[in-house]
């Protein structure tokens, strides 16, 4: 039908449709509780895997940092230390005259101990009294004939602890306890195993 009769029917049907509310108004409280519960369950299943992945990434970063320390110390001994090593991390942060880059990046030379990627890194070498002055300002008797560096995790919750150490031999060791007191400046530590 067309004309005035058709428009009158439309006007009568419109209020009738509005009188019955639509079921498409949104989620009910039960729907929302179900979705939130499902998200919570999935999150609780994923958290242990995320913690393991984070721990593995941090351990890989610590191993890489110790590798950088070994490379920096070797470069320092060959080019600047006249066969002797830097006694600490800040010394490796001082470039040789005429060079723009230091032996280690600034993030690893801010102090005697450095926090990087969830690990505390430190380097120490027993100074040798007959060591000569170096090209980057270390006084005679201030360099070391060998060194030891360690990386200890800051947070031990939820994961198997992994501690790392290296020395002037260039090998990186891993142990279940800290190597900070037992890592010799040369040779193998009393516990732990070489990883590379």
- The per-residue DSSP string of 129-174 comes to TTPPPPTTSPPTT-SBS--EEEEEES--TTS---EEEEETT--EEE
Residue 12 is predicted with a pLDDT of 52
Residue 4 is predicted with a pLDDT of 54
**CA 161 to chain centroid:** 14
CA–CA separation, 109 vs 70, rounded Å? Answer: 14
CA–CA separation, 117 vs 114, rounded Å? Answer: 10
In this predicted model, what pLDDT tens digit does every residue of 53-80 receive, in sequence order?
888 889 999 999 999 999 999 999 999 9
For 84, residues 6+ apart whose C-beta sits below 8 A from its C-beta are: 77, 128, 131, 132, 134, 143, 144, 145
Residue 3 is predicted with a pLDDT of 55
> What pTM was computed for the model?
0.76
- Name the region of 186 (left: φ>0; alpha: ψ -120 to 50; beta: rest): beta
Residue 21 is predicted with a pLDDT of 56
For tokens 């690990």, name the residue: 119
Residue 15 is predicted with a pLDDT of 53
In this predicted model, what pLDDT tens digit does every residue of 75-96 receive, in sequence order?
999 999 999 999 999 999 999 8
CA–CA separation, 55 vs 118, rounded Å? Answer: 9
- Domain spans, the chain: 28-194
Pick out the chain residues at pLDDT < 70. 1-25, 158, 196
Beta bridge partners of 122: 113, 150
CA–CA separation, 144 vs 130, rounded Å? Answer: 9
């Amino acid at each position: 039908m067309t004309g005035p009769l058709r428009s009158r029917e439309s006007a009568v049907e419109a209020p009738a449709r509005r009188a019955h509310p639509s079921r498409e108004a949104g989620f009910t409280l039960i729907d929302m509780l179900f979705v939130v519960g499902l998200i919570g369950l999935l999150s609780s299943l994923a958290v242990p895997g995320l913690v393991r992945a984070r721990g593995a990434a941090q351990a890989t970063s610590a191993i890489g940092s110790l590798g950088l320390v070994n490379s920096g110390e070797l470069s320092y001994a060959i080019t600047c230390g006249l066969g002797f090593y830097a006694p600490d991390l800040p010394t490796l942060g001082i470039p040789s005259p005429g060079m723009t880059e230091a032996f280690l990046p600034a993030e690893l030379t801010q102090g005697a101990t450095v926090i990087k990627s969830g690990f505390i890194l430190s380097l120490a070498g027993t100074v040798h009294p007959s060591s000569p002055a170096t090209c980057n300002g270390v006084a005679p008797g201030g360099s070391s004939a060998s060194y030891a560096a360690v990386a200890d995790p800051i947070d031990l919750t939820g994961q198997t602890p992994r501690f790392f150490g290296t020395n002037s031999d260039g090998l990186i060791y891993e142990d279940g306890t800290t190597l900070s007191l037992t890592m010799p400046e040369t040779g193998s530590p009393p516990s732990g195993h070489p990883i590379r």
